[in-house]
Amino acid sequence: MRDVAIIGVGMNKWGELWESSLRDIFTEAALLAIEDAEVDHIDSMYIGCMSSGLFVGQEHLSSLLTDYLGMGPIPATRVESACSSGGLALRTGLIDVASGMNDIVLVGGVEKMTDVSVHGATFALSTAADQEYEVYHGVTFPGLYALMARAHMHRYGTTRKQLAQVAVKNHYHGSMNPLAQYPQKITAEEVIESVMVADPLRILDCSPITDGAAAVILAPLDLAKKISKKPVVKIIGSGHATDTIALHSRKDLTEIKSTERAAKIAYEMASKSPEEIHLAEVHDCFTIAEICVIEALGFAEKGKGGPATEHGMTTLGGKIPVNTSGGLKSKGHPVGATGVAQAIEITKQLRGEAGERQVKNAKVGLTQNMGGSGGSSIVHIMEVV
């Protein structure tokens, strides 16, 4: 197995991109990554996308996007794992390069979510849950995460204010990200007083509906050191795990076991511990998700994710800054692109290119991307070399 590095990154501004099509936004991000890597070709391509068929009526993205990018006839593969499609695309590209099959690989993620009604978007997203035992009975993802939040509050005393602080912190970080969909700062009071969605979660506890794309270029580490003019970011750990798709089949609603398992694999592969991670990008689709995830990753003890957030552990300047990009909450969540965008933020941080939100002396970063209510999780660990 060869060592693999990220040598190029590209991402467009996320939001409601009415005047651009799915192929437009993907191509824009891909070209930015190719330009950043300064490569003149790519050998293969992987595309993370959850549900282009339901959102824009377009499948067969492997053909469509290689054609529109002008890269045919290279092999291309569309990767789907619900909201962790981008993270799994990155892992698949990593395996391709590590195996020696290809040298220069483009990994992209894309979703165009605003071309359908709110009802249509809700339906498309609900396909990541258990259709027979959850969706049929009217449960949506806000409802599922609300159950997780209530269980966490009951067992550990997590407060409504602590949930709100996740959103406050991520919007503060996102206010320094020019590509974020919602870069405005918010207060805990605004979160708590916003419209109820599924008790105890309110609208400002939820990530938005987003159009956007992101792309990275991967290469063998030896080649990366020869051709890259920027600090080389090596992927030193990669973990992938699944759990039951339905919440009712799990022993504990407060734990995300797929993330725990994926993290264990990634930490062992990287020979790192949670204490050696300098920053992380995690899947904050809802505020309770970030609290459960930082516990699953070992950044906070079980049940202590709320107080850790409230006391500033995960903010810029804290022990382990989390979601310096603004996270899904502020940056946006075009579901197929999120996992790739997380890798872009870590790469920029490790290169020292994050501007106002730069984490001092950042050398090792982690990404955690998950599908559904934790039915699948991908964890990557990266280090600047």
The answer to whether the bond into 321 is cis (omega within 30° of 0) is no
Active-site residue identified among 173, 240, 333, 380: 333
Q: Of 49, 83, 206, 292, which is the active-site residue?
A: 83
Question: Does the annotation mark 83 as catalytic?
Answer: yes
Instruction: Answer yes or no: 137 catalytic.
Output: no
DSSP collapsed to 3 states, the chain:
CCCEEEEEEEECCCECCCCCCHHHHHHHHHHHHHHHHCCCCCCEEEEECCCHHHHHCCCCHHHHHHHHHCCCCCCEEEECECECHHHHHHHHHHHHHHHCCCCCEEEEEEEECCCCCHHHHHHHHHCCCCCCCCHHHCCCHHHHHHHHHHHHHHHHCCCHHHHHHHHHHHHHHHCCCCCCCCCCCCCHHHHHHCCEEECCEEHHHECCCCEEEEEEEEEEHHHHHHHCCCCCEEEEEEEEEECCCCHHHCCCCCCCHHHHHHHHHHHHHHCCCHHHCCEEECCCCEHHHHHHHHHHCCCCCCCCHHHHHHCCCCCCCCCCCECCCCHHHHHCCCCCCHHHHHHHHHHHHHHCCCHHHCCCCCCEEEEEEEECCCCEEEEEEEEEC
Residues annotated as catalytic (active site), given as ranges: 83, 333
